[in-house]
């Protein structure tokens, strides 16, 4: 994950000599409403695929190694329903975090005509990003991967192949929460399954051979422990950022918890049904 410099570029003022319109290409015609946002970054795409693979691997081990072979049908139905629901919510949140515009500032709008339309007061300074040639709102930062300035940018996360910003932070928080929950749930089930297999014959507690069962469970245990720690820390960091109105990119504007920002998470609604933040 990458931190973005916190300083602002102040190379545009209302004075004509600072406008430099010849260096800015007018912004392209905006696409249709609802156009999908997707970052074409090889590393990010690979990390997103790995994320889905790890969740599906956990699904495979939980269902085909632990729950389906179990003779306790009530235990299997309850835990299978809970785990699959959390896994679905995690992947749905991941998709929304990855495919939602994080709050990109229109590219190439730092033109003389646009600046004059702002009706600035004499001596008033506006901020320009020289990389994407856009007027930067307050608390916006440029991402070198997305190649755009992002409003309230927290950081660029390769696991969701996107920046975490104003419009998709709620989905990223939900994603980290659901991953932490399914990791904890998987670890608990692995512990109970090991105890069950030690008490009974290993050949009867799984449809796989004992060595294969042990290897699959150990890998799932390692994966669950690793991502439980990682996503719990990320979840706590994000909630703290929301409550203090700060961002990892270096913005330290607020010190008190602001309920409108926190309410954008839409707890505990499904990410697919969450309303867009106003």
pLDDT in tens, 140-170: 888 989 888 999 889 999 999 999 999 999 9
- For residue 59 the two structure tokens come to 């699904």
- The residue range of the domain holding 234 is 39-104+150-263
132 within a domain of the structure (yes/no) = no
- For residue 120 the two structure tokens come to 């600035």
The domain total for the chain is: 1
Respond yes or no: is residue 149 known to be catalytic.
no
Query: How do residues 72-109 score in pLDDT, each as one tens digit?
Result: 899 999 999 999 999 999 999 999 999 999 998 888 77
- Return phi, psi of residue 163, to 5°: -75, 150
Is residue 23 very low, low, confident or very high in pLDDT (cuts 50, 70, 90)?
low
- For residue 5 the two structure tokens come to 């410099």
CA atoms within 13 A on the CB side of 63: 12
Is residue 34 very low, low, confident or very high in pLDDT (cuts 50, 70, 90)?
low
Per the CB < 8 A criterion, the answer to whether 31 and 147 are in contact is: no
Q: Check pLDDT > 60 for residue 229.
A: yes
250 within a domain of the structure (yes/no) = yes
Is residue 197 very low, low, confident or very high in pLDDT (cuts 50, 70, 90)?
confident
141 within a domain of the structure (yes/no) = no
Distance, CA of 101 to CA of 38 (rounded, Å) = 8
**Percent of the chain whose predicted confidence (pLDDT) is above 90:** 45
Enter the DSSP assignment of 23. Answer: G
212 within a domain of the structure (yes/no) = yes
**Percent of the chain whose predicted confidence (pLDDT) is above 70:** 76
Confidence at residue 246, expressed as pLDDT on a 0 to 100 scale: 77
Confidence at residue 71, expressed as pLDDT on a 0 to 100 scale: 84
99 within a domain of the structure (yes/no) = yes
Positive or negative: CA dihedral 131, 134, 136, 141: negative
89 within a domain of the structure (yes/no) = yes
The helix (H) or strand (E) run that includes residue 157 is strand 155-157
Per the CB < 8 A criterion, the answer to whether 172 and 160 are in contact is: yes
Is residue 25 very low, low, confident or very high in pLDDT (cuts 50, 70, 90)?
low
Given the DSSP bridges, would you call strands 134-135 and 128-129 parallel, antiparallel or unpaired?
A: antiparallel
For the ranges 66-70, 119-123, 230-234, the lowest mean pLDDT is seen at 119-123
Distance, CA of 215 to CA of 232 (rounded, Å) = 25
225 within a domain of the structure (yes/no) = yes
**Which member of 157, 163, 197, 205 is catalytic?**
157
19 within a domain of the structure (yes/no) = no
């Amino acid at each position: 994950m990458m931190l973005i410099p916190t300083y602002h570029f102040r190379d545009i003022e209302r004075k004509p000599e600072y406008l430099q319109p010849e260096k800015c290409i007018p912004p392209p015609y905006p696409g249709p409403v609802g156009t999908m946002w997707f970052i074409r970054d090889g590393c990010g795409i690979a990390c997103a695929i790995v994320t889905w693979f790890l969740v599906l691997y956990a699904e495979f081990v939980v269902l085909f190694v632990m729950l389906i072979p179990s003779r306790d049908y009530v235990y299997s139905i309850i835990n299978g329903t809970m785990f699959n629901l959390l896994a679905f919510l995690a992947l749905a949140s991941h998709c929304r975090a990855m495919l939602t515009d994080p709050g990109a500032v229109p590219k190439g709008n730092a033109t003389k005509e646009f600046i004059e339309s702002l009706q600035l007061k004499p001596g008033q300074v506006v901020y320009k990003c020289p990389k994407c040639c856009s007027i930067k709102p307050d608390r916006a930062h440029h991402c070198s991967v997305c190649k755009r300035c992002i409003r309230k940018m927290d950081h660029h996360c390769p696991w969701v192949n996107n920046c975490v910003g104003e419009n998709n932070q709620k989905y990223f928080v939900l994603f980290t929460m659901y991953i932490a929950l399914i990791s904890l749930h998987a670890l608990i089930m692995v512990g109970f399954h090991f105890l069950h297999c030690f008490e009974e014959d290993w050949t009867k507690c799984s449809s796989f051979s004992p060595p294969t069962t042990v290897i699959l469970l150990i890998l799932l245990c390692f994966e669950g422990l690793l991502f439980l720690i990682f996503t719990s820390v990320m979840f706590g960091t994000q909630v703290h950022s929301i409550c203090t109105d700060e961002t990892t990119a270096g913005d330290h504007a607020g010190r008190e918890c602001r309920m409108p920002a926190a309410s954008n998470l839409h707890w505990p609604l499904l990410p697919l049904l969450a309303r867009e933040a106003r």
